Amino acid sequence: MHAPYIFADMPVDIAIPLSADERRFLQEYIADLDVVEAVKRSGVYKGRAPNPNTFASCGNRILEKQHVRIALHWLQSYRARHSEVNAEKVLMRLWSIATADASEISSVRVFSCRNCYGDDFQYQWINEFEFNFQKKKNDLVNDDGGYGYDPERRPNKECPHCKGLGERAVFLTDTRDYSPDARLLYKGAKHTRHGIEVMTHDSMRAMDMVARILGLYTEGDPNDNQMKIIVEGGLPD
C-alpha cells in the first residue's frame, strides 16, 4: 500500500501517493535528471549486481509509473513557478559552463630557455643583480651569455640546448581575472602535497544536460544502442 507523501515545498492539495523508494528516488532525480546517479544516491536498488546498467533499469522502471511522472511534473512546475529560477536561466548557466574556455583558468605556457637568446647560446641572465646574487653563491658562474633574459619570449628554434622546445610550466590565472563564464566553470582550489589543485565543473556533463533539456537526444536504429543527437536551429549563442 502506498502511503501519501507531501513534498516539503508543495501545498497539501497536490499531494501524490508515492512509496518510500519512489519518494527517495524522485527527490534525487529532480536534482540533476540523472537516472543512474539518482538510483545510487537514493539507495533504491536492491539487486546483487550494482552497476550503471542495473541502476538505469531500476530508475527507468520507477519513471515509467504514471503516478511518479505526475509527481515529477508537479514538483518541477511548482518549483519553477515559486522561485526566480526558470528553465531559461538554468539552460543558460549550463551552457556557459559547457562552453567556457578552461584555458582561462589554467594553461601550459612554453617559454624560452636560458640559452635561447644568450650570446653564442650561453646562459643568459635577467640582469646584473641576478648574476651577482648567484656569483656570491657560486664563484664559477659567468655572464658570457649576457643579460636581458625574458621568459615571455618564445623559444628560439635554433637553440642547441632545448632544440627549440623551450621550457614548460603550468600557469594559474588569478581568479579575479576570470571571465563570467570561467567563474561558472571554476569549482574551487585546494592545497595538496604537489601544489595547488584547481577544480572545475564537468563541462561535458553540462553539455549533456543542455542536450537533454532541449530534447536533442533521439533514439536511433533499435539495434543500435548508441544515442544520436539531432540539432535543429542551433544552440544558444
CA trace torsion 166, 167, 172, 176 (10° rounding): -50
* β-strands 195-200, 217-219 pairing: unpaired
CA-to-CA distance for 180 and 101, rounded, in angstroms? 11
In one-letter notation, the amino acid at residue 149 is Y
For the chain, the first-to-last Cα distance in angstroms comes to 50
Give the domain ranges of the chain. Answer: 4-83, 85-105+179-237, 107-172
Among 66-75, 160-169, 177-186, the least confident range:
66-75
Q: Which residues of 146-178 are buried (b: 16+ CB within 10 A; e: fewer)?
A: eeebeeeeebbeebeebeeebeeeeeebeeeeb
- What average pLDDT does the segment 228-234 reach? 43
pLDDT tens-place string over residues 114-145: 999 999 999 999 999 999 999 999 988 999 99
Higher pLDDT, 190 or 16: 190
Give the chain's mean pLDDT: 83
Q: Could you tell me the pTM of the whole model?
A: 0.53
